[in-house]
Amino acid sequence: MAQSTSRKLKNGGREVTRVNKAGKTVVRRKNADGKTTAVTRTNKKGNDVKRKKDADGKTSAVTRTNAKGNTVRRGKKADGTTKSVTRTNAAGKKVQRVKGKDGATKKVRRTTANGTRITRNKETGASTRVRTNKAGQKVTVKVDKNGVKTKTKG
């Protein structure tokens, strides 16, 4: 196996760095008990891919950089299926897709450039927009599946 280096962390854990067969760097972070908490590696395109692990050693999240250079975080359930996908859009705002049991997207949450938070339920077709008006009040506009708008301030 290739040469590896290890350094101690403040929490009592270790960070082990090695070079894999493909010549890419792999960094494995361990806690004080010796369990792996995260693995960071370099993919073929040269971008970092970080896997966070839970107490059982299962992958809880995968964070990577996509082709556009934006960060994509894929949250995982205990059974290994995707729970949600969070990415950064062109405006630098977060876009989150919440997945159902079948893997289909249930909800999409995003923030527009002017700060309006939009939640869209893909199953029912309803959506909610939350913004702050000039007076500093929170304004919520709910649109149900029939297109009926309900506006609340407060």
Asked if residue 94 is part of any domain, the answer here is no
- The pLDDT of residue 20 is 87
Is residue 83 left, alpha or beta, with left meaning phi > 0 and alpha meaning psi from -120 to 50?
alpha
Amino acid at 19: V
Task: Measure the CA–CA gap between 77 and 58, rounded to whole angstroms.
Answer: 9
Asked if residue 42 is part of any domain, the answer here is yes
Q: Are 62 and 76 in contact (CB under 8 A)?
A: yes
**What is the chain's pLDDT, residue by residue, as a tens digit (154 residues)?**
568 888 998 888 899 999 988 888 899 999 988 899 999 998 888 888 999 998 888 999 999 988 888 889 999 988 888 999 999 887 788 999 999 888 889 999 999 888 899 999 998 899 999 999 999 999 999 999 888 999 999 7
Q: Which residue has the tokens 């708008």?
A: 149
Asked if residue 37 is part of any domain, the answer here is yes
Q: Are 86 and 75 in contact (CB under 8 A)?
A: yes
Asked if residue 115 is part of any domain, the answer here is no
Asked if residue 117 is part of any domain, the answer here is no
Question: Whole-model pTM?
Answer: 0.73
Which structural domain range is residue 30 located in? 8-50
